[in-house]
Structure 1
Amino acid sequence: MVDEYANETGDFVSSSTISPFPVSWSRGELIFQVFCLSLIMVIGIIGNGLVIVSVIISRQLRTVTNVYVVNLAVTDLLTVLNIPLTIVAMLSDSNGWPLADWLCVFTAGCLIVCVASSIYTLAMIAISRLLVVTRLRADDKALPFRRYWIITALILIWSISIFMASIPAIFGVGQLGYDTRYSSCTWVSSHPKSSTYSAILAAVLYPVPLVVILTCYLIIFRHFHKHIEKMMSNANTGVNTTSATSSTNGQQTSRNAWTAGQKGSMQHRLNKMNIKVTRNLFYVVVMYAICMTPFGICLLLTGSASIKATPFAGVILMMNSCVNPLIYAVKHPHFKGVFKSILTCRLKSIADRPYDIRNT
């Protein structure tokens, strides 16, 4: 009867009820994964907590770009807070997930939402830096950022992320829950459309936002290159003009030269600051690409080697949730100073916090 029904329905029943072979790990491999995830959790909680607190209490860090940095820290913090349940799933015996089923579904959905939110937040950071850098002037206060723009961007990021995790429930493509193949709370490999859902996640969460990010940063670097060339050309022209007119009106020329020098110096400082901030944020993007690429490749491939490597690629992906604060602590001078003040309990050395976000 089962065979007849399977033939009549295109083998749907047989393909949906046969569980995929489970991936087995040696005791050493399991201990290694648990140790790495535990270390990522500790560093991620401390580091991302520091980022969030720093932006709240430091005036220098209350900028438009850092709104997205805080959103990135929140998603990373939520990711690492789910690691204990991930470890429980990994250590589960042959009886499967030992806790309530809804908790495993919630963990899987939360991980997908956080990963999606992270990558689209990085894309929004790249767009934000592009608009700031290409439109910034020394005396320009009308930057293309307002509260409604920021709120709209954040709503869009989280809406896309929640939608990606809701695809199985809405369209029946895949199923979130305990996966017996990997002993994890992700999406069920035995579902007939599991590979389709994997392909959707790999396509939407990796190449699309990554192309946006790389395009934005290429335009930014090209803009910096042209601006530096223009400043050098103007500096040479200014020297020649000053030499030619100094004999006719020395005092006025000196005053104009001083004013132009002040504006040029301010513009130079602003550009230097933006180059440094953009470079530091680019490091974050590079690290995310390094951490995300192995997992994305494993989702697209179906061979036994990729199946075996997927859990380790997942650990590398989780690692991204704790590396961003380390980058800020090493490369970003303002974050570095505030981190040090918080860890040494010298909060008085931190600038007064403002009531409004500064557009810088």
Structure 2
Amino acid sequence: MENSDYRQNITVQYCFPDVNSSCIKEIQTGPAYIFLFIVLSCISVCTVVLNLLVIISISHFKQLHTPTNLLILSLAVADLLVGLIVMPGNIMQLIDSCWYLGKLACTFFLLITFVSTTGSLSSLTLIAVDRYIAVSDPLLYSVRVTVCKTLLCIILSWSFCVFYISNFMYFNDHLLSSSISTRCYGECVLFVKYSWVFVDVVVNFLTPTSIIIVLYSIIFKVARHQAKSIRAMKNGASQKHGANIPSASETKAAKTLGIIIFAYLACWIPYFLNSLSDKSFTSSSMVWTIFSWLIYINSSVNPLMYAIFNPWFRATSRYILTCRICVIYESSSSRFHLLPEHF
């Protein structure tokens, strides 16, 4: 009797009390959720700050206007959207299950979510292709890879992402389509069909993953061969055992490429493996939430790998954080010579 009386005294809260079809509000206020809110908020802020530093650096300093850095800029823009829009939206839905901005904003939010993550993935693939060309054919790299060609590839890449995701979300009568749930007012949930998941795994995971792994494997082999050749020239042909000792550049290349590939696979594999294991699932499920956040966190890791490891990022960050690029007498800061050596 006491339990039944207790249930009757509980007041059910709705997202929109004045709307008959309103969803039931579920607010998570426990210590664990508060801690989770703080941690995820810090990740979101760090993602925004790091990617903003990359974007401002490459956009402002003319010395950084190179094909490779334009690809890093494209990656930073995609990751900035994740940190600025996708992460905060998902954080609020973790704490409060209601969506207060309407169906149009929900559609836009889901569109930004998938376009930004897909754009990030395509940028990672283009960076791998760019590095492969630079290592395999360094003498003709400046001819084969130009700023104009790189900009064209970036535009085509983002256009494909928008077209691909638009087909995914809007063509609701199609076999491969998915749909936004409208079971009640105040819900922003995407129902994903298994037929689309299978196509998405092939197009959005297996293909770019294969390209990235293969190209970075070739890059590492070429870098290792070059390091051995340089070491042999320094040590002399008479030092037979020296060729088996890893050089500093070889070790650095191995660590960098290893970190890049490991971080990429660790963030993306769990999501797609889980996608294939379920015949159908929604974006509100806890498993979807956990594995989606792994992908979002990859947007925090990307600037660490592709920018902070570059010497120019440390130099430009000092200029930006100390506001030296805003000082009147340094109005020509965009032409600063950041590093004495070419990079």
Correspondence for 1:85 among 66, 86, 89? 89
Correspondence for 1:343 among 295, 314, 321? 321
Matched letter for residue 133 of structure 1:
V
Q: How does 1:228-307 map to 2 (within 5 A)?
A: 228-233=227-232, 280=256, 283-302=259-278
Give the C-alpha shift of residue 185 in structure 1: 4.3
**Would the alpha carbon gap of residues 84 and 323 (structure 1) be closer, same or farther in structure 2, given more than 3 Å must change?**
same
Name the counterpart of 2:214: 215
Name the counterpart of 1:16: none
User: Contact 2:67–2:147 at 8 Å: present in 1 too?
Assistant: no
In 2, the alpha carbon distance for the partners of 1:60 and 1:184 equals: 47
Percent sequence identity is 26
User: Contact 2:51–2:80 at 8 Å: present in 1 too?
Assistant: yes
**Would the alpha carbon gap of residues 230 and 311 (structure 1) be closer, same or farther in structure 2, given more than 3 Å must change?**
same
In 1, the alpha carbon distance for the partners of 2:222 and 2:187 equals: 45
Matched letter for residue 274 of structure 2:
C
**Would the alpha carbon gap of residues 238 and 294 (structure 1) be closer, same or farther in structure 2, given more than 3 Å must change?**
closer
Name the counterpart of 1:145: 145
Q: Report which stretch shifted further, 229-238 or 143-152.
A: 229-238
In 1, the alpha carbon distance for the partners of 2:38 and 2:134 equals: 41
Matched letter for residue 163 of structure 2:
F
**Would the alpha carbon gap of residues 109 and 103 (structure 1) be closer, same or farther in structure 2, given more than 3 Å must change?**
same
Give the C-alpha shift of residue 236 in structure 1: 7.0
Cα deviation, 1:202-221, whole Å, max 9, x if unaligned, reads 33222210110010011111
In 1, the alpha carbon distance for the partners of 2:27 and 2:272 equals: 21
Greater Cα radius of gyration, structure 1 or 2: 1
In 2, the alpha carbon distance for the partners of 1:78 and 1:184 equals: 22
Give the C-alpha shift of residue 178 in structure 1: 4.9
Name the counterpart of 1:40: 43
Matched letter for residue 196 of structure 2:
Y
In 1, the alpha carbon distance for the partners of 2:160 and 2:272 equals: 18
- RMSD of equivalent CA atoms: 3.8
Give the C-alpha shift of residue 86 in structure 1: 2.7
Which secondary structure state, in structure 2, belongs to the residue aligned with residue 188 of structure 1?
strand
**Would the alpha carbon gap of residues 120 and 279 (structure 1) be closer, same or farther in structure 2, given more than 3 Å must change?**
farther
**Would the alpha carbon gap of residues 226 and 107 (structure 1) be closer, same or farther in structure 2, given more than 3 Å must change?**
same
User: Contact 1:40–1:318 at 8 Å: present in 2 too?
Assistant: no
**Would the alpha carbon gap of residues 276 and 225 (structure 1) be closer, same or farther in structure 2, given more than 3 Å must change?**
closer
Cα deviation, 1:93-115, whole Å, max 9, x if unaligned, reads 5xx53321011111111111111
User: Contact 1:179–1:187 at 8 Å: present in 2 too?
Assistant: no
Q: How does 1:1-360 map to 2 (within 5 A)?
A: 27-28=29-30, 30-82=33-85, 83-93=87-97, 97-137=99-139, 142-168=142-168, 169-170=170-171, 171=174, 173-178=176-181, 185=188, 187-189=190-192, 194-233=193-232, 280=256, 283-302=259-278, 308-327=286-305, 330-347=308-325, 352=335
In 1, the alpha carbon distance for the partners of 2:291 and 2:138 equals: 40
Cα deviation, 1:279-304, whole Å, max 9, x if unaligned, reads 64763443232222222222122299
Give the C-alpha shift of residue 276 in structure 1: 6.2
Give the C-alpha shift of residue 55 in structure 1: 1.1
Q: Report which stretch shifted further, 156-165 or 81-90.
A: 81-90
Matched letter for residue 68 of structure 2:
T
In 2, the alpha carbon distance for the partners of 1:177 and 1:59 equals: 44
Matched letter for residue 302 of structure 1:
D
Give the C-alpha shift of residue 323 in structure 1: 2.1
In 1, the alpha carbon distance for the partners of 2:270 and 2:82 equals: 18
Give the C-alpha shift of residue 90 in structure 1: 3.6
User: Contact 2:191–2:281 at 8 Å: present in 1 too?
Assistant: no
